Structure 1
């Protein structure tokens, strides 16, 4: 089949790769001048299946009220939001129950674990390099209350056979020696030894080149204005350069996906939750992290990428607002500076923001639509990098009419009907 993949972030490019491997003629269309120039550009850098969990969880509404009063809050809510914003927030709050949390986390871990296996296969097959490290990730708790509250997450990890280690302070320092001088600031951690790290931008660009070598065509600088249809099928894709027909269309546009399918009568509850990152050069190897540390207090991820440290975090609900807020940079610098002082030149860091495409239940939307030849692979939130290869293999199997290796009936847009 001739297939259009709309979007050239990590989700779109991996989807194109697996579709081409399945024997299809694939064309990727994106309005940016190259791959991974939006949400995939400077994300936190972690491939963390074990930490795949929905933001909607029991206790979050009360925590959110407390966070909003904090100087270095992990949550920012801007006033003046439109009705779609409030609808998405209300849907998220409805998922803050024990039952919903267990269901949603189970879905997310299922995709993420499958994705890690596909990434390992891809790395072995192609030799792709992207400042990758396979040294696990460490969730760090600054208070005993945080450490005591990990029971539900551990239960899910056990249920899915995900290896984990609950560490005391000295074991945390053994895993991450750069923490030694700040051991008095935390009480313990949860380590997932099979998690990985890497530069999503480097990965996506390298895979785009491999896909090109395998016959995938990329059309950059091309905006998609509409999907034309006959009531049951997509008949053509309308772009700034004209109209083109395809046998199938895959929408992988992240936060921009809902606007594209809304005229078709498809309500896709994907909302742009703004995140920030800084990328700073390492100046003292002995003080730097060796992998990823999740700072539970600030909800910040600190990741080693070669000779750099990527620090990412904050959930800002403010629509499609790309303004760089200095207060958010201060939060990121506070987190990394309080755990790894002297490791990096914070003043020399680059500051970035991107729109995470979030669903209310945390699970991406992967699968078919009411239109026979229209498919979705979007809504991965903070886990697009973690879930990319698995989501792409899954949607390639669905489009190709093959039986996927994991259950997917509960991943499609129909779950919101």
Structure 2
């Protein structure tokens, strides 16, 4: 079977790899000159199944109002005359209940833990290198109030069997020795030893190389104009230059741009772009840099060591498809990393980046078939595209191939929104 993947980010490329492994002829269409150059390019670098949870949950509406008032706020909302935004927000608020949170969390943990296992198998089988580390994630609390509420997190972790450690300041320093250089900043932490780190862009490029060895064709600079449907099937992909491309099956993995492609077909994907930012700093003192990933609970910022660099990622900005780099967002990232690792990296030579995370209102990605027999989706992973990429790609390949996936998948498809 010839399968065409629409999108060459980490999700699209992992889909291509597992489809090629299953024996299919695979073509990847990507508008950029290479793979992984948009949302996958400079994300926070975390592979964090332990932190796979929906943003929508009990208490979030009140917290969100507080975050919007902070100077270094983790959430930014730009008022817009955009019905899709407010419809998406309404659906997200509807998921801020205990029952919805448990349901959505269960879906996400199932896929994320499966993805971690698939990634480990891939690494063992291929030796793929991407500056990865297996040193866990440390969530740092700056206030006693944050530490006192750690039980809210650990109860969820207990329910899903995720290993963790609650640490005092000395325990935090044992996990991240560079924290000994700052005093009075941290009162405690929550460590998840099963999490990993790695550069998603390096991974995507390396995996694309393995895909090529398996016979996958990559067409770069391919700007998609639309899909042609007839008789309940997709017949072709039309490019903006008039080229018409055909395959047997199609996988839409265009991140935040997927809904616009499928809307003319009558398929409504509740995916909205949530803008994130990152800084990448060269390490100046290895002993003063993090050894893995640190999550700054106050600013909702992740600080990750990637080889000889520090990646600082965070902020959720609701600003449509804007790619403007805003100075206040940079200030928040700089504040977090200089508080915790002031001698670790060179801010003067940091690169500043922004990307659009494709978020669903229930936090769960949309992976599976659609009402059109030969059209599948693999999108909506939000901040967890890197965490869930391998599992989503393997799952998608099984569904396209007509095989029974290794995990339950019925509640991951777009059909769940019809209920």
TM (norm. structure 2) is: 0.98
TM superposition shift of 1:111: 0.6
* Deviation, structure 1 residue 145: 2.0
Q: Give, in angstroms, the shift of residue 286 of structure 1.
A: 1.4
C-alpha deviation, 1:10, in angstroms:
0.2
Aligned to 2:295: 294
Structure 2 match to 1:35: 35
In 2, Cα distance between equivalents of 1:156 and 1:24: 40
Which residue does the alignment assign to 1:413? 414
CA distance in 1: counterparts of 2:87 and 2:3, whole angstroms:
33
Match in the other structure for 1:316: 317
Of the structure 1 ranges 146-155 and 328-337, higher mean CA displacement relative to structure 2 is found in: 146-155
Offset of 1:65 from its aligned partner?
1.0
The offset of 1:189, in angstroms, is: 1.0
Q: Are 1:169 and 1:183, in contact at CA under 8 Å, matched by a contact in 2?
A: no
Deviation of 1:236 (Å): 1.1
Where do residues 336-347 of structure 1 align in structure 2 (5 Å cutoff)? 336-347=337-348
Equivalences for 1:53-132 in 2 at 5 Å?
Answer: 53-132=53-132
1:374 is the counterpart of 2:375: yes
Deviation at 1:149? Answer: 2.3
Instruction: Look up the match of 1:268.
Output: 269
Query: Please, what is the CA RMSD of the aligned residues?
Result: 1.0
**Aligned position for 1:234:** 234
Q: 1 CA distance for matches of 2:305 and 2:53?
A: 22
Secondary structure class of the residue paired with 1:279:
strand
Q: Which residue of 2 is the match for residue 277 of structure 1?
A: 278
Q: CA deviation at 1:188?
A: 1.1
The TM-score with structure 1 as length reference comes to 0.98
Matches of 1:194 and 1:70, distance apart in 2: 32
For 1:61 and 1:183, how far apart are their aligned partners in 2?
Answer: 33
Gaps of 5+ in 2: none
1:106/1:156 contact within 8 Å kept: no
- The residue correspondences of 1:242-253 to structure 2 (distance < 5 A) are 242-253=243-254
Q: Distance in 1 between matches of 2:90 and 2:46?
A: 29
Match of 2:45 in 1: 45
SS of residue matched to 1:405: coil
1:378-416, CA deviations, whole angstroms, 9 ceiling, x for partnerless residues?
000000000000000001111111111111111110111
How far residue 295 of structure 1 moved from its aligned partner, in angstroms, is 0.5
Report if aligned partners of 1:81, 1:318 keep a CA contact under 8 Å in 2: no
**CA positional deviation for 1:143:** 1.6
What's the CA shift string for 1:347-366, capped at 9, x where partnerless? Answer: 11000000000000111000
Quote the residue 2:214 is aligned against.
214
- CA offset at residue 147 of structure 1? 2.1
How far apart, CA to CA, are the structure 1 residues paired with 2:234 and 2:153?
41
Report how many aligned residue pairs link the two structures. 417
